[in-house]
Amino acid sequence: MSALMRYLYWLALLLPFHSIAVDYWQEHPLPAQWQQYLAASQQLLQQDEAAFATELGNSSAQLAVKHSEFGLTAITTAAEAEAVLSFQTPSGGWSKRTDMRMPRKPGQHYGSEPDYVPTFDNNATSTQLQWLADYYPHAPEPLRQQITLAIERGIALVIDAQYPNGGFAQSYPLRGDYHDAVTLNDNALYQLMQLLWQAAHDKRFAMLADNRKQAAKAAFYRAVDWLLANQVWVSGQLSVWGAQHHPLTGGPVAARKFEQASLVSSESAKLLQLMLQTVPDYPGVAASLAAGAHWLRQHQISGKTRYRDAQGYLSLADSPGSVIWSRFYDLQSGEPVFFDRDGKTYSDVSRLSLERQRGYGWYQSVAEEFLLAYDEYLTIHNE
């Protein structure tokens, strides 16, 4: 890569990932239940900000240390547990891309990115709660009490975050713009639904009060109802879901400019698999699974695999026996689509800028795992 191309590539990485500015809450008259939800979200955000301001006093805020994950893959020591606990916001969640190996200092931000404090994006909040639950049996008694309180607060936040119709935004308290869409992207909805199911049923969360477990169970089923109500119809046939859906109308919507409204393969497959594993007999789920599996089979790319050359250019290469899916599919035609940073849409990934070819997972194979599990399920239940 030439010096100029390297410069342009890194410059692009430093530019904001512009979204398509939207305020969902000004588009339609809001019923009282939604107005109450928004008021509660705003109040919680103000409480978080006030708590941090009190902690800060007259001092200057310190930056949180950025990390692509959290600096940890699990909690294995009391010191690590205490560090993770220190990053729980007053509202009960955690932030993404923040190093949590060392305890948060007084006056240090809870996260490295202000629009994600706290968030469910990039597995944040769900990951910390699962880590704490896993470590709980190994923790000394005083720390167990802190962990129990933290998990109670975290699960309460997730339950409070659920929209009145059962969906979840990317972050809560709400941050506005595309963050307020019901977010399947990067498996945000999947992670939250899995967490709720675990909180209600998994012995790892035995420390939760019974009423919290019941609330988590009810929230899980409301999310299932949201999925069944908003699976996208295309030409009279059920398909799958979009990466983001309008919180009120339920239709697929755009997020960042390289994430236009479209159907998604991987996130849809993960949610289908979760329903298959947990509630295959729930009313409406069988039809949803069958339609989703049919759509994924129709749209798989057979005999190909992704190939990236030394410069990062992306293409498909022959691979007999392999199957792969585009990340995004056009809402009407069902054909693979690829979006550049300027919002332009292409049917050929090679037409994207090199920065976007290198910086995004345009082809994925996650759906194969669901289809194998679904075939096995059908075989067992049709015997």
pLDDT tens-digit map of 211-241: 999 999 999 999 999 999 999 999 999 999 9
At residue 2, the pLDDT reads 42
Q: 328-329 and 241-242: which strand pairing?
A: unpaired
Is residue 260 within 8 A of residue 26, CB to CB? The reply is: no
At residue 9, the pLDDT reads 35
At 12, is the pLDDT very low, low, confident or very high (cuts 50, 70, 90)? very low
Nearest CA to 325 out of 240, 224, 260 is that of: 240
At 359, is the pLDDT very low, low, confident or very high (cuts 50, 70, 90)? confident
Q: Which helix (H) or strand (E) holds 195?
A: helix 188-201
pLDDT at 14 over 70: no
| 10-24, 53-67, 138-152, 328-342: the lowest-pLDDT one | 10-24
Catalogue all structural domains in the chain, each as residue range(s) with its CATH number. 31-230 (1.50.10.20), 234-244+258-383 (1.50.10.20)
Question: Once rounded to an integer, what is the mean pLDDT over residues 179-190?
Answer: 98
Q: Dump pLDDT digits (tens) for 35-44.
A: 999 999 999 9
Is residue 185 within 8 A of residue 255, CB to CB? The reply is: yes
At residue 5, the pLDDT reads 36
List the beta strands (DSSP E) in the chain: 182-183, 233-234, 237-238, 241-242, 244-245, 263-264, 301-308, 314-326, 328-329, 338-339, 345-346, 363-364
At residue 134, the pLDDT reads 98
| 1-5, 140-144, 266-270: the lowest-pLDDT one | 1-5
pLDDT at 251 over 60: yes
- Average pLDDT over the chain reads 94
pLDDT at 10 over 60: no
Q: Which position has the higher pLDDT, 123 or 17?
A: 123
At residue 16, the pLDDT reads 41
Question: Once rounded to an integer, what is the mean pLDDT over residues 94-123?
Answer: 97
Name residue 314's beta-bridge partners. 308
At 382, is the pLDDT very low, low, confident or very high (cuts 50, 70, 90)? confident
Question: Once rounded to an integer, what is the mean pLDDT over residues 208-212?
Answer: 98
Q: Dump pLDDT digits (tens) for 313-352.
A: 999 999 999 999 999 999 999 999 999 999 999 999 999 9
Cα 103 vs. chain centroid, distance in angstroms?
25
Question: Both ends of the chain: CA-CA distance in Å?
Answer: 57
In the block, which residue shows the tokens 């699976």? Answer: 231
At residue 20, the pLDDT reads 58
pLDDT at 15 over 70: no
Q: What one-character DSSP code corresponds to residue 30?
A: P
* Rounded Cα–Cα distance for residues 64 and 105 (Å): 9
At residue 28, the pLDDT reads 85
pLDDT-above-70 percentage for the chain: 94
